[in-house]
């Protein structure tokens, strides 16, 4: 048992369930960085809910000791929204893969972004479908051979960062699973951010994605310049599309403070002069003929 | 001669004030102390097309829309054409003539016809075509002794905000209608409403509002929905009222998101609900399965409409029963209940939450278009008298927590986030008691049994199946949802004619209340099952569960049954 005086360490956030990921999977790096971020923030185990969809990456909540929900493919954001809106005091963090989040669940992202829903969304982007064994995903590069695209992927990949920026997310960042310290920092900042924060983490799948491997990324990951203005949406979009010096940019692209969904819902409750012991007989009176 | 049961139908073009006329008559009658029940059908388009609104009023409890109408108020030729074949001997027709859309003076054998120049008076004398419906109302009030004072009150409340001038103009139109009757017509029909005494403790409410009110009475804290006819009014009503109780309402981007929201909110501890109609319920199926396997209590109100697909968006049908009961991949345990009238909409919604909380299951309330849009009077609910059930919670008592623990009842305590020692993963993956994934055959069988067996005593927990058995009856009728009211009335009529017939009214439609069903069917030689769908859905469910060969009586024309139709069928099969 830990007492209040003994701060929790990263390993204290680890559950008894060992990760089921393949050896060398990028998701291990994400898990380790997240556990460290939790320890650094001293995240409250009892008041944190990790929500995920379906996919290799979506197994994430099982490996952490907090409350969690493993839901249905693509539905992580709606379920996470429900938890947070019902219990604003809880820390709600959503996890999933690029297929889960941007293919089947892609219809939810714009709305969570535009509403500035108070959740953190961490995507493990491996540019492939892992759990179903190597099909093309929405971030698979054009022309890549996958199990469903033996002649090369016919679809242009989408850009998760630009997508979220365009729809109004107030915190958008990108990390790379191998750069654990950066990921840890991004996760911490995302959790602390009020409103919707999106962190795309490039997380290679050595089993099925033979193109976007750790080797491939070795010289292709760059960092946003130290003087990047995170309030500048145009600059953020430019880096999202073009990267930096021919490399994929990592770091915080965008970080602004705007009213969140909870702020607005609270505004509605104020307008309705809400109180928990509002007399229901008063609304029944409205039906007296 | 005063009448104890009168049905007035308004028919015309959508957007012409048909609905507000009907509403006002209903309101005025309810204020005079009468029981009322309304019925409307309208086109899926916003303007144009034939719209109908009828009000039935009586001194006694009204069970359904009735069989046809006594008085028809026709605003245009189409309304007349649609209804002329339904006019029985003695019907009264009030119609817009001369100067309106109806070109000829009417002379229908057996029908008393009163021409009232509604359009002409509104346009030429009052300078505002829009008040045509008020001219009609004035004439109707004068003809059938509906309280003009009450109508004036309603007008004041309805139009007061728009200014005194508008109210005055409406009053003038009302008076013009009345004066036309006084000065030009001789009343020859016998219909006249005998007002009752204003009743204390009565409310008038729509089926959809009643579901919203029921949810509030149950303590709903979270609601999320996506607009769809005919369920939208549930969300509209709760949007106004739920925030007053500090509840949260979200308009989701689609039905999948709305039920996802609801599952998240309920996991976090809130009583949570969504409302939709057929197409939305189809979309929700995967997450209903998630709620079932992860044992998260949720309530879904499905206000059924004609289907499949976009089908008949504004028309009446009871055709989502099989979808609600069986429509999930895998073996998903869930509960379906169906109210018969607006009063049931209030109380069964409360019970839907009770069932969801007690058994930690998804509960689907099957309402329907005619019930959702119906307004009817009912006794004012007393919030203090209601049974409110809450889920069993893990209190953090030091015992290691197993979310899906096997228990004698099959129900296991739920830990709400924030409870020390309770952290667990709610999951749609088959799981061990601890909630860790586990796919062994043995574990899957045991968990499936747990999720189904926990409902074994639901018929006792939700004892809402009423058997109205007549000694010596060979014929028993079983029906569900809003057809129950129609059958109740038909049974009365049949018995008044000396026919022996019994009826069973289950409000729990899945799992079927087998004790009540078997008890009833064993007493009767023939079982008739009327329902508004093509496949005879309840009849099929009953057959699959009990082997019973019933006489299925399905209709599927977008309209509810009438008692007369049921009575005819009783005579045919008895
Ligand atoms: C409705 C539905 N469709 C399809 C699937 C099958 N499925 C499971 S995971 C998955 C893709 C996962 O890919 P991604 O989200 O990128 O996660 P990864 O496994 O790569 O981490 C699919 C298609 C499913 N579970 N549910
Ligand atoms: S299949 Fe790929 S994404 Fe899934 S666990 Fe293995 S390496 Fe990771």
Give the ligand whose atoms come closest to the C-alpha of residue A214: 2
Whether the pLDDT of residue A111 is over 80: the answer is yes
CB A127 within 8 A of CB A140: yes
Q: Does B213 touch chain A (CB under 8 A)?
A: yes
Show residues of chain B in contact with A51, CB under 8 Å: 264
Nearest to A289 among B31, B262, B267 (CB): B31
Nearest to B253 among A51, A107, A269 (CB): A107
Nearest to A86 among B205, B221, B422 (CB): B221
Q: What are the Cα distances from residue B35, in Å, to B38, B56, B422, B473, B493?
A: 10, 8, 52, 31, 19
What's the whole-number mean pLDDT along residues A41-62?
Answer: 98
Q: Does B477 touch chain A (CB under 8 A)?
A: no
Nearest-atom index, ligand 2, CA of A24: 7
Nearest-atom index, ligand 2, CA of A206: 7
Q: What is the pLDDT of residue B199?
A: 81
C-alpha A134 to ligand 1 mean position (Å): 10
Residues found in chain A: 289
3-state class (DSSP) for residue A182: helix
B320-339 residue pLDDT tens: 999 999 999 999 999 999 99
C-alpha A55 to ligand 2 mean position (Å): 9
Cross-strand bridge partners of residue B39: B54
Reported as a pLDDT band with limits 50, 70 and 90, residue B32 is confident
What's the whole-number mean pLDDT along residues B362-387?
Answer: 97
Q: What is the pLDDT of residue B163?
A: 85
Reported as a pLDDT band with limits 50, 70 and 90, residue A43 is very high
CB B30 within 8 A of CB B202: yes
> A284 vs B381: CB contact, 8 Å cut-off?
yes
Q: What is the pLDDT of residue B44?
A: 75
Q: What is the pLDDT of residue B230?
A: 95
- Give the residue from chain B lying closest to A273, CA to CA: B244
Question: For chain A, what percent of residues have pLDDT higher than 70?
Answer: 98
| A206 within ligand 2 shell (Cβ under 6 A) | yes
What's the whole-number mean pLDDT along residues A111-128?
Answer: 98
Q: Which letter does DSSP use for residue A64 in this model?
A: B
Q: Which residue has the higher pLDDT, A5 or B383?
A: B383
Whether the pLDDT of residue A277 is over 90: the answer is no
Q: Does B209 touch chain A (CB under 8 A)?
A: yes
User: CA B193, CA B56: separation in Å to the nearest integer?
Assistant: 11
C-alpha A54 to ligand 1 mean position (Å): 5
What's the whole-number mean pLDDT along residues A237-254?
Answer: 97
User: CA A202, CA B88: separation in Å to the nearest integer?
Assistant: 75
Cross-strand bridge partners of residue A201: A124, A175
Question: H-type helices in B117-247, by residue range?
Answer: 118-120, 132-144, 148-159, 164-184, 207-218, 232-241
Q: What is the pLDDT of residue B162?
A: 86
Nearest-atom index, ligand 2, CA of A124: 3
> B248 vs A71: CB contact, 8 Å cut-off?
no
A160-191 residue pLDDT tens: 999 999 999 999 999 999 999 999 999 999 99
Nearest to B429 among A70, A81, A110 (CB): A70
Taking residue B212's Cβ as centre, other Cβ atoms within 10 Å add up to 30
> B213 vs A283: CB contact, 8 Å cut-off?
yes
What's the pTM? 0.96
Q: Does B347 touch chain A (CB under 8 A)?
A: no
Whether the pLDDT of residue A4 is over 70: the answer is no
Reported as a pLDDT band with limits 50, 70 and 90, residue B14 is confident
Show residues of chain B in contact with A61, CB under 8 Å: 425
For all residues of chain B together, what is the average pLDDT? 94
User: CA A51, CA A60: separation in Å to the nearest integer?
Assistant: 9
Residues with CB under 6 A from ligand 1: A 54-57, 73, 96-100, 124, 126, 128-132, 137
CB B396 within 8 A of CB B417: no
Show residues of chain A in contact with B436, CB under 8 Å: 17, 62
User: CA A31, CA A22: separation in Å to the nearest integer?
Assistant: 14
Q: What secondary structure, in 3-state letters, does B74-112 show? A: ECCHHHHHHHHCCCCCCCEEEEECCCCCCCCCCCCCCCE
| A25 within ligand 2 shell (Cβ under 6 A) | yes
B468-503 residue pLDDT tens: 999 999 999 999 999 999 999 999 999 999 999 999
Q: Which residue has the higher pLDDT, B445 or B46?
A: B445
The interface predicted TM-score of the complex, written ipTM, equals 0.97
C-alpha B215 to ligand 2 mean position (Å): 44
For all residues of chain A together, what is the average pLDDT? 96
Q: What is the pLDDT of residue A1?
A: 45
What's the whole-number mean pLDDT along residues B528-535?
Answer: 98
Whether the pLDDT of residue A3 is over 90: the answer is no
Atom 6 of ligand 2: nearest residue by CA position:
A22
Q: Does B182 touch chain A (CB under 8 A)?
A: no
Q: What is the pLDDT of residue B546?
A: 97
To which H or E segment does residue A41 belong? helix A27-41
Buried b (16+ CB within 10 A) or exposed e, B395-427: eeeeeebbbbbeeeebbbbbbbbbbebbbbbbb
> A68 vs B424: CB contact, 8 Å cut-off?
yes
Q: Which of B148-152, B270-274, B430-434, B447-451 has the lowest mean pLDDT?
A: B148-152
Whether the pLDDT of residue A5 is over 80: the answer is no
Whether the pLDDT of residue B147 is over 90: the answer is no
Q: Which of A236-240, B49-53, B368-372, B540-544 has the lowest mean pLDDT?
A: B49-53
| A204 within ligand 2 shell (Cβ under 6 A) | no
Whether the pLDDT of residue A2 is over 50: the answer is no
Q: What are the Cα distances from residue B149, in Å, to B31, B32, B155, B156, B189?
A: 10, 10, 10, 11, 23
> B246 vs A276: CB contact, 8 Å cut-off?
yes
Whether the pLDDT of residue B2 is over 90: the answer is no
C-alpha A72 to ligand 1 mean position (Å): 9
Q: Which residues between 101 and 130 in chain A have a beta carbon less than 8 angstroms from any beta carbon of chain B?
A: 107-108, 110-111
Reported as a pLDDT band with limits 50, 70 and 90, residue B146 is confident
> A79 vs B263: CB contact, 8 Å cut-off?
yes
B176-206 residue pLDDT tens: 999 999 999 898 988 988 877 778 899 999 9
Nearest-atom index, ligand 2, CA of A209: 2
| A205 within ligand 2 shell (Cβ under 6 A) | yes
Q: What is the pLDDT of residue B3?
A: 62
Helices B255-267 and B278-294 pack at an angle, to 10 degrees, of 30
What's the whole-number mean pLDDT along residues A105-118?
Answer: 98
Q: Which letter does DSSP use for residue B515 in this model?
A: H
Reported as a pLDDT band with limits 50, 70 and 90, residue B24 is confident
Residue pairs between chains A and B whose CB atoms are closer than 8 Å: 183
Q: Which residue has the higher pLDDT, A48 or A277?
A: A48
What's the whole-number mean pLDDT along residues B411-417?
Answer: 98
Q: Does B48 touch chain A (CB under 8 A)?
A: no
Q: Which of A35-44, B55-64, B236-245, B392-401 has the lowest mean pLDDT?
A: B392-401
């Amino acid at each position: 048992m830990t007492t209040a005086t003994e701060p929790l360490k990263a390993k204290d956030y680890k559950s008894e369930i060992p990760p089921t990921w393949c050896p060398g999977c990028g998701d291990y790096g994400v898990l380790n960085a997240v556990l460290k971020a939790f320890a650094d923030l001293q995240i409250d185990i009892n008041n944190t809910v990790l929500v995920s969809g379906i996919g290799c990456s979506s197994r994430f909540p099982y490996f952490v000791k907090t409350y969690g929900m493993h839901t249905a493919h693509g539905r992580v954001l709606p379920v996470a929204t429900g938890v947070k809106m019902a219990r604003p005091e809880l820390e709600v963090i959503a996890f999933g893969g690029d297929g889960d989040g941007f293919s089947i669940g892609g219809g939810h992202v714009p709305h969570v972004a535009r509403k500035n829903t108070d959740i953190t969304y961490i995507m493990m982007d491996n540019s492939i479908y892992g759990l179903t064994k190597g099909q093309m995903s929405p971030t698979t590069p054009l022309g890549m051979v996958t199990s469903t695209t033996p002649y090369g992927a016919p679809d242009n990949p989408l850009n998760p960062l630009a997508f979220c920026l365009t729809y109004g997310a107030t915190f958008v960042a990108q990390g790379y699973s191998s750069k654990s310290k950066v990921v840890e920092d991004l996760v911490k900042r995302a959790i602390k951010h009020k409103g919707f924060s999106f962190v795309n983490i490039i997380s290679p799948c050595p089993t099925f994605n033979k193109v976007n491997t750790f080797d491939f990324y070795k010289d292709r990951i760059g960092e946003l310049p130290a003087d990047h203005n995170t309030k500048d949406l145009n600059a953020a979009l430019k880096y999202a599309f073009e990267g930096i010096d021919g490399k994929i940019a990592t770091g915080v692209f965008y970080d602004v403070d705007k009213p969140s969904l909870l702020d607005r819902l609270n505004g509605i409750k104020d307008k309705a002069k809400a109180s928990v012991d509002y007399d229901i007989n008063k609304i029944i009176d409205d039906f007296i003929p | 001669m005063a009448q104890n049961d009168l049905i007035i139908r308004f028919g015309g073009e959508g957007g012409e004030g048909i609905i507000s006329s009907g509403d006002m008559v209903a309101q005025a009658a309810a204020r005079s102390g009468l029981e009322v029940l309304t019925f409307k059908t309208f086109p899926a388009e916003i303007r144009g097309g034939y719209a109908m609104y009828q009000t039935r009023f009586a001194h006694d409890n009204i069970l359904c829309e009735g069989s046809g109408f006594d008085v028809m108020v026709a605003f245009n030729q189409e309304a007349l054409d649609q209804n002329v074949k339904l006019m029985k001997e003695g019907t009264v027709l009030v119609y817009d003539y001369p100067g309106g859309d109806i070109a000829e003076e009417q002379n229908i054998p057996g029908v008393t016809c009163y021409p009232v120049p509604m359009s002409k008076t509104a346009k030429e004398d009052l300078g505002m075509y829009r008040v045509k419906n008020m001219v009609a109302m004035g004439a109707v009030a004068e003809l059938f002794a509906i309280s003009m004072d009450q109508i004036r009150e309603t007008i004041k409340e309805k139009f007061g905000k728009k200014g005194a001038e508008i109210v005055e103009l409406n009053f003038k139109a009302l008076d013009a209608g009345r004066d036309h009757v006084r000065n030009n017509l001789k009343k020859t029909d016998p219909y006249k409403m005998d007002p009752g005494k204003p009743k204390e403790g009565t409310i008038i409410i729509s089926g959809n509002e009643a579901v919203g009110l029921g949810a509030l009475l149950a303590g709903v804290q979270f609601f999320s929905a996506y607009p769809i006819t005919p369920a939208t009014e549930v969300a509209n009503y709760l949007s106004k009222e739920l925030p007053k109780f500090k509840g949260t309402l979200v308009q989701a981007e689609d039905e999948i998101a709305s039920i996802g929201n609801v599952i998240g909110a309920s996991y976090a501890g809130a009583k949570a609900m969504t409302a939709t109609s057929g197409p939305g319920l189809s979309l929700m199926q995967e997450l209903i399965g998630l709620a079932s396997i992860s044992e998260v209590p949720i309530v879904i109100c499905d206000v059924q409409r004609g289907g499949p697909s976009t089908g008949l968006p504004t028309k009446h049908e009871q055709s989502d029963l099989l979808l609600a009961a069986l429509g999930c991949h895998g073996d998903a345990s869930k509960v379906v209940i169906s109210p018969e009238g607006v009063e049931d909409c209030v109380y069964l919604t409360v019970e839907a939450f009770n069932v969801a909380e007690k058994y930690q299951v998804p509960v689907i309330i099957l309402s329907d278009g005619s019930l959702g849009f119906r307004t009817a009077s009912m006794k004012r609910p007393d919030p203090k008298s209601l049974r409110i059930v809450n889920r069993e919670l893990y209190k953090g008592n030091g015992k290691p927590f197993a979310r899906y623990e096997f228990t004698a009842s099959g129900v296991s305590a739920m830990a709400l986030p924030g409870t020390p020692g309770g952290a667990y993963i709610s999951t749609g993956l088959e799981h061990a008691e601890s909630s860790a994934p586990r796919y062994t055959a043995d574990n899957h069988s045991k968990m499936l049994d747990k999720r189904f067996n926990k409902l074994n005593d639901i018929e006792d927990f939700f004892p809402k199946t009423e058997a109205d058995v007549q000694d010596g009856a060979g014929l028993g009728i079983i029906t569900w949802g809003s057809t129950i009211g129609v059958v109740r009335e038909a049974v009365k009529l049949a018995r008044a004619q000396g026919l022996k017939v019994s009826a069973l009214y289950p409000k729990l439609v899945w799992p079927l209340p087998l004790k009540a069903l078997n008890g009833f069917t064993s007493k009767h030689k023939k079982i008739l099952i009327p329902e508004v769908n093509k496949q005879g859905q309840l009849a099929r469910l009953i057959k699959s569960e009990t082997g019973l060969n019933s006489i299925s009586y399905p209709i599927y024309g977008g309209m509810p049954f009438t008692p007369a139709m049921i009575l005819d069928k009783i005579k045919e099969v008895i």
